[in-house]
Structure 1
Amino acid sequence: MAKYSFKYGKDKIDININDEHIIQTLFPKEAPFLKDIPKEVVKSLENPIGAPPLKEIVRSGEKVVIVVSDVTRLWVRTNEFLIHIVNYLNAQGIGDKDISILIALGSHRPSTEEEKKAIVGDDVYNRIAIYDHNCFDETKLCYLGESSFGTPIYINEKVINADRVILTGGIVFHLFAGFGGGAKSMVPGVAGIKTIQHNHRLTFYEGEGAGLNPDARSNKISGNPMREDITEICRRVNPDFLFNAVLDAEGNFIEFVAGDFEEAWLKGCNTIRKLYGISIKEKADIIVASAGGYPKDINLYQTVKTMDNCLYGGKEGSVIILISECREGLGAEEFLKWFKYKTLDEMESALKKNFTVPGYAAYKTMYTAKYRKVIFISSLPDDIVEKLGFIPSHDIGNALEIAYSLSPSSPKITVMPFGGNTLPIM
């Protein structure tokens, strides 16, 4: 027997598993983290990829808009690098009054003042004008025609009217856009709701009940229709510069990439692949996975990423023991409402009419429950877990017994202690 530990909220859960059944344990690879953040930020701004140094792009007196991630992406730690970008612009003759911060809300709710301060940091909050994007206010959007995918392009007027636009964000695997970061700061970040919904519908095949497009998935860029549409729209707007962060599983900065919004981002994507894309030789009968503890398992909505990663590591019909505290419940008010639809086809039809990310997360949850047997260890009420199509459990030993009873004899087991960060790749 071998002992394994899984993070659960701010605690941990231990379990002994017959090591003869373990075929792989997936850990993110380690990388040295950046120690001198101000120095590394400036180094990236002056040694960009696919673009001139930022000091050769901006001119004194120009109006600069910096797009930043919203409060759902606090893990990006924007507050720790943004001040150095602002100070760098100051040194090039761009005063605070000529800089504005636009929070890329996509279709999320508005930010509170406390959230704005948490996103940008106290210094920037007290010096720079900060605005929320509003995807629903067409009077504050500019129309730029349609993409080749037929997506109507509506972009925040502050971006269109600025002399210079800098995108910021963080790069991770993304369950339907391939990777986060890059052009996602533009779409859905500062796009209109019509743009967002049409683009996100590309995650499905056209036609009633056609199902998910398997090319709109984690780790896929080329041939991913949703990502290609995002890139095309962003190239139409043509932002001047990008600054993206890559972080390890503990939240340390390990790389900054800067320059052209696509070329620099692709370098960061390759780093993510090396760190978190874990090669596997075979798929498992049972996967035991933790979302990675607090805050990654703060709610079910955040746990969907772990759930999606598990799909790539197990056989169809296999068992997933999913460990996620969910101390704040489901995480999105509308999430459970999508389960009024009793089949994937019904939910898909509703999503195609009114796509929302919580709705997609609900679809992915129902999809997982249909094609896997999920035993869910959480603080959620059992009736809610059962409504999701999962088997509730409050004891890891009991969960493992259930998993064995649902699996072939001598099952092959994969262990994923950091399920939200590790993507199994055949």
Structure 2
Amino acid sequence: MNNYSFKYGTTELPLTIHDGDILDMLIPKDISPIGDIGQKCMEVLAHPIGTPPLKDIVHRGEKIVIIVSDITRLWIRTDQFLIYIIQYLNDIGIHDEDISILISLGTHRPSSEEEKRQIVGKEVFSRISVYDHDCFHGQELCFLGHSSFGTPIYINKRVVEADRVILTGGITFHLFAGFGGGAKSIVPGVAGLETIQHNHRLTFYKGESTGLNPNACSNSIHGNPMREDITEICRKLQPDFLLNAVLNQHGDFINFVAGDFEQAWLKGCDMIRDLYGIPINEKADIVIASAGGYPKDINLYQTVKTIDNSLYAGKDNSVLIITSECKEGLGAEEFLQWFQYRDLEGMERALKQNFTVPGYAAYKTAYAARFRKLILISSLPESTVCRLGFIPASSLEEALAIAYQQSSSHPKITLMPYGANTLPIGAISM
């Protein structure tokens, strides 16, 4: 027997498993963190990929907007590196009053003042104006035409009207955009609702009951219609610079990439593949996955990423155990409403008529429940968990006991303690 633990909110859940039942433990490569974050930031700002140094791009007197991730991406630890971007700008003659920070909420809820302080850091918050993006108010958006995919392009006015735009964020696998970071700071980050809806609708094939486009998935860039649309829109806007962080499974910075929003980001994607893409030779009967604790398990909406990654590790109709505290519930008021539809086809028809991101997350949740027996350990009411098509459990011990009952006589188990990040490579998801 061996003891394991899985992150759950700000705590951990223990579990003892017989070693003979373990097929795989999917752990990212253990890479040492950067010793001096400030020095590394200054280095990549001065020696970027695909652009001149930032000092040759930004000029005194220009109005600069820095786009940062919201509270659901607190794991990026923007506050730890944003101060060095501000310092760099100050050193080349840019005054604080010419800099503003825009939180890329997409369709997420607004930030509280305390959350803004958490995101950017106490010192930056006290010096620089910080704003939330609002995708719902047309008067705050500029229309820039349509993409070749037919997406109407509405972007936050502060971004469009700025002299210079700097993107920040963190890179990780993303369940339908291929990877997070990069141009996602623009779409969905600071885009209008209509833009976000049309772009996300590209994850489905056209037509009725045609299902998901399999190319709109984790680790997919070229041929992924959603990602290609995002890139095209971002290129139309042409942000001036990007700085994205790459973090290890402990939340420590191991690298930064900077420069052209696409070229630098692609280098970061290669780092993520190497770090978090875990080759597997065999699929499991039972998969146990943690979203990785707070804030990655802040709500079920964010946990869908973990669920999707975990699908790649299990056999058809295998058992999937997910630990996710869901401190803020489902993550969107409308999430549960999508389960009024009796099947995936009904959900798909409704989404194609009126696409919403929470609706899509609900679809992916129902999708997992159709092809896996999914057991959820969370703070959600049992009635809600059952309505989602999942089996509720109060502990890992209870969940594993249920999983054994649902499986073959000698099930093999794969463990994914960092399920929001790690992607099994070599298996095909349903």
Provide the TM-score with structure 2 as the length reference.
Answer: 0.95
Partner residue in 2 for 1:181: 181
CA–CA separation in structure 1 for the residues paired with 2:391 and 2:35: 44
Partner residue in 2 for 1:228: 228
CA–CA separation in structure 1 for the residues paired with 2:241 and 2:83: 16
Q: Structure 2 vs 1, CA of residues 110 and 325 (structure 1 numbering), >3 Å: closer, same or farther?
A: closer
Q: Structure 2 vs 1, CA of residues 102 and 396 (structure 1 numbering), >3 Å: closer, same or farther?
A: closer
1:333 positional shift: 2.2
Partner residue in 2 for 1:309: 309
Equivalent position amino acid for 1:33 in 2:
P
> Where do residues 8-407 of structure 1 align in structure 2 (5 Å cutoff)?
8-407=8-407
Equivalent position amino acid for 1:298 in 2:
I
Q: Structure 2 vs 1, CA of residues 372 and 261 (structure 1 numbering), >3 Å: closer, same or farther?
A: same
CA–CA separation in structure 2 for the residues paired with 1:353 and 1:13: 41
Contact 2:72 2:296 in 1 (8 A): no
* Higher mean C-alpha displacement, 19-28 vs 259-268: 19-28
CA–CA separation in structure 1 for the residues paired with 2:394 and 2:222: 42
CA–CA separation in structure 2 for the residues paired with 1:110 and 1:166: 21
Contact 2:67 2:185 in 1 (8 A): yes
Structure 2: stretches of 5+ with no match in the other structure: none
The secondary structure found in structure 2 opposite 1:20 is helix
Contact 2:299 2:330 in 1 (8 A): yes
Q: Structure 2 vs 1, CA of residues 111 and 11 (structure 1 numbering), >3 Å: closer, same or farther?
A: closer
Render the CA deviation track for 1:192-224: whole Å, top value 9, x for unaligned: 211111101001111122111111111111111
CA-atom RMSD in angstroms: 1.7
* Higher mean C-alpha displacement, 291-300 vs 160-169: 291-300
* Higher mean C-alpha displacement, 345-354 vs 36-45: 345-354
* Higher mean C-alpha displacement, 283-292 vs 218-227: 283-292
The secondary structure found in structure 2 opposite 1:424 is strand
Structure 1: stretches of 5+ with no match in the other structure: none
1:379 positional shift: 3.0
Contact 2:75 2:296 in 1 (8 A): no
1:377 positional shift: 2.3
Equivalent position amino acid for 1:251 in 2:
G
1:4 positional shift: 2.7
Q: Structure 2 vs 1, CA of residues 120 and 295 (structure 1 numbering), >3 Å: closer, same or farther?
A: closer
Partner residue in 1 for 2:5: 5
Aligned length: 426
1:302 positional shift: 2.4
* Higher mean C-alpha displacement, 366-375 vs 130-139: 130-139
Render the CA deviation track for 1:8-58: whole Å, top value 9, x for unaligned: 333333333333332211111111111212211111100101111101111
1:101 positional shift: 1.4
Q: Structure 2 vs 1, CA of residues 361 and 226 (structure 1 numbering), >3 Å: closer, same or farther?
A: same
Contact 2:75 2:295 in 1 (8 A): no
1:288 positional shift: 1.7
Equivalent position amino acid for 1:195 in 2:
T
Q: Structure 2 vs 1, CA of residues 397 and 352 (structure 1 numbering), >3 Å: closer, same or farther?
A: same
Q: Structure 2 vs 1, CA of residues 165 and 320 (structure 1 numbering), >3 Å: closer, same or farther?
A: same
The secondary structure found in structure 2 opposite 1:166 is strand
Q: Structure 2 vs 1, CA of residues 116 and 15 (structure 1 numbering), >3 Å: closer, same or farther?
A: closer
CA–CA separation in structure 1 for the residues paired with 2:110 and 2:393: 36
* Higher mean C-alpha displacement, 222-231 vs 336-345: 336-345
Q: Structure 2 vs 1, CA of residues 328 and 163 (structure 1 numbering), >3 Å: closer, same or farther?
A: closer
Partner residue in 2 for 1:409: 409
Render the CA deviation track for 1:210-243: whole Å, top value 9, x for unaligned: 1111111111111110000000111111111001
1:328 positional shift: 3.5
CA–CA separation in structure 1 for the residues paired with 2:142 and 2:155: 5
Q: Structure 2 vs 1, CA of residues 74 and 400 (structure 1 numbering), >3 Å: closer, same or farther?
A: closer
CA–CA separation in structure 1 for the residues paired with 2:388 and 2:291: 18
1:351 positional shift: 1.8
Equivalent position amino acid for 1:334 in 2:
E
CA–CA separation in structure 2 for the residues paired with 1:93 and 1:6: 47
CA–CA separation in structure 1 for the residues paired with 2:294 and 2:130: 29
Equivalent position amino acid for 1:291 in 2:
A
The secondary structure found in structure 2 opposite 1:203 is coil
1:179 positional shift: 0.7
Q: Structure 2 vs 1, CA of residues 138 and 318 (structure 1 numbering), >3 Å: closer, same or farther?
A: same
Q: Structure 2 vs 1, CA of residues 367 and 270 (structure 1 numbering), >3 Å: closer, same or farther?
A: same
Contact 2:73 2:296 in 1 (8 A): no
CA–CA separation in structure 2 for the residues paired with 1:425 and 1:147: 32
CA–CA separation in structure 2 for the residues paired with 1:351 and 1:151: 16
The secondary structure found in structure 2 opposite 1:3 is strand
Q: Structure 2 vs 1, CA of residues 66 and 327 (structure 1 numbering), >3 Å: closer, same or farther?
A: closer
CA–CA separation in structure 2 for the residues paired with 1:295 and 1:71: 8
The secondary structure found in structure 2 opposite 1:106 is coil
Q: Structure 2 vs 1, CA of residues 13 and 89 (structure 1 numbering), >3 Å: closer, same or farther?
A: closer
